[in-house]
Chains A and B, each alone.
Chain A
Amino acid sequence: MGLEKEYAIETINLCKKYGNLVAVDNLNLQVEKGTVYGLLGPNGAGKTTTILMLLGLTEPTSGQAIIAGYDSSRNPLQVKSLVGYMPDNVGFYEELTGEENLLYTAELNGLPRSLANKRIAQALERVGLKAAGGRKVSEYSRGMRQRLGIADVLVKDPQIIIMDEPTLGIDPKGIHELLALITSLAKEDGRTILISSHLLHQIQKICDQVGIFVQGKLIASGTLKQLESQLLPSDCLEIELKTSPSDENLLALCRAFPGIRELKWENDLLVLTCDRDLRQDFVPALTANGYCPIHLSLRGTSLDSIYLRYFRKEEA
């Protein structure tokens, strides 16, 4: 390997074509060990295809997928024994209990019975399904299934966990618990986690690094801050403003203020495009003129707005 850095997950010019449709286009993805990586993109961007190629379940048209140094299409068994995969909308055998489902996974992994039982008990405890382990999966709620999916991954005790849309269809409280669990898997156990999702605001909190994936291409990758600079011109910040009262004079005041380049109304919010973050300077000016700021926020700090703005840019 020499000086080359070893990533937990790496793809090199990975491509997948279905006829004329290019599902994944020259993907170069790098995920460092022990980090949480969020693969974000709209539906149909090729996220699931990428994940299946990472696991060696789908042959890439060209390029390589490398997991912990092993080629996914050449050593799929090695890769699959290192990686825990939780599919999108994970399914279980309804007529079996939660424990029996996990036991099947353990047997497929060739775990001896005593170790399997120990791991199953630990995994169920960790995801908070200890009491429900003996019940049939058909009685489980959506959130419980999702947690059972995580337990199913934990039974393998993998170094790397790949989750496809883990938060889909769960209520806010459930999502909060799920994300806390995922964070603990990364931070306490030191596992590498790749999460694919289209719900940015939910997973941005727990991701160390984020990649934005659109139409088979990774258009940006890095930490949230890096993404901002990659996707948006740095000298162009947007500030949302709502004041009481809100009238024509406010517009004139804003126009006159140095540093504000443009303004426009978005519903009842006034959006100011400025050179720098001038919130601190602007507030005294507002109050001095008898306007009380009710809402004042800098756009571009949340992934949602980066994402939205990126697409707006695309459309334009």
Chain B
Amino acid sequence: MVKTIKLPSPKFRLHLNKLQLANRGFWAVVKKEVGDHLSGKRFLILSLIVLVTCLGALYVAASTIRSNVSQDELDFVFLRLYTTAGSSMPFSFLSFIAFMGPLIGLILGFDAINGERDRRTLSRVLSQPIYRDALINGKFVAGVIVIAMVIYGLGFLVAGLGLILTGVPPTLDELLRLLIYLTLSVIYISFWLALAILCSLLFRQTSTSALAGIAIWLFLGVFFGLLAGIIADGLYPVTDSSTAEQIIANDKAERLLSRVSPTFLYNEAVSTIMNPSIRTLGLVLIQQTYGAIKGTLSLGQSLLLIWPHVVGLIAATLICFALAYISFMKQEIRA
């Protein structure tokens, strides 16, 4: 027995259209989540750590540049602020963001959905007239907004302080490289945010999902490179008497495997874009450098070199988010 049912009245359809146009539910979620993140204590603590370490890296970089300015060329001084590490501080701004960035993403997302379940707010929120995906989309977008605020904020803060410390203004090329670098960092950290949201759907306990996120971070950041090396050595063993072909094959295999990890992709891409003197990724033979003129790559050429990396990072982020999205849409709501 199927009963005839009313279709939405024209008035309501109009209202629905308006609702869809404005997508109020989505923006309400974004607004609330951004507010929560920015006023939350754990986010404040993490931002302070990142801020202090980055300023430390900047200070060391600036003093190193000043003391080396006579010996070194003056090319791309502005970019060196981000990439130079000193003896007292073995990390540059670049390596700090590469190291801490994933942590920001994980902290913003690890309790996205299971936290709502814990607080028993999920069913209450979803019983409001919003689409179910408005919640997860809103949370992701809010996280990306906060990440962008932190990364661009830090990047430009360092730029401003660097100007004061070194007194060398950036060229347009350098400024564009900086913008590309910061954007890449936002995409990379968004990958970790999407991964954290996925963990928050797969695990019911917030502590479990946080630990799972950190485990993946450690695996991709530290162990994956080792693993790639071991596999490459197994495929193409290299000994003292190996030929150049074998060594190249080994190196290629290791790089190829390593590039599965977004961490490696990001590190390669970022160091290429921030260091115009990097002209190729991978091994360079002495024959190839013979007769080459020392110089730097233009922005376009650097970009071309890392284009696959950029695509890969965006794809990894979207795949992670898509998995989270699908799993959220299929999950039971009951608390």
Contact = CB atoms under 8 A, between A and B. Distances in A.
A13 B1 contact: yes
Given A77-B129, A87-B335, A107 B124 contact: no
B115 to A, nearest CB: 10
B173 interface: no
Interface residues of B, number: 36
B38 interface: no
A58 B12 CA distance: 23
Contact of B332 (A58, A78, A92): A58
A85 B3 contact: no
Interface stretch (A35-43, A64-72, A216-224): A64-72
Given A66-B5, A107-B28, A48 B334 contact: yes
Given A78-B12, A83-B127, A110 B22 contact: yes
Contacts of A77: 16, 19, 129-131
A interface bracket (residues with beta carbon within 8 Å of B): 35 or more
Given A57-B333, A58-B334, A64 B22 contact: no
- The A interface, classified by DSSP as helix, strand, loop or mixed, is mixed
Contact of A91 (B28, B29, B39, B121): B121
Interface string A41-83: 0000000110010010110000010100111001101101101
Contacts of B39: 95
Interface in B1-33: 1-6, 8, 12, 16, 19, 22, 24-25, 28-29, 31-32
A49 B334 contact: yes
Nearest to B32: A104
Interface string B97-111: 000000000000000
A91 B119 contact: yes
A74 B332 CA distance: 18
Contact of A152 (B22, B124, B126): B124
B328 to A, nearest CB: 13
Contacts of B120: 87, 89-91
B5 A70 contact: yes
Nearest to A6: B6
A183 to B, nearest CB: 23
Given A48-B334, A57-B127, 5 more contacts: A64-B2, A77-B16, A81-B129, A92-B124, A95-B40
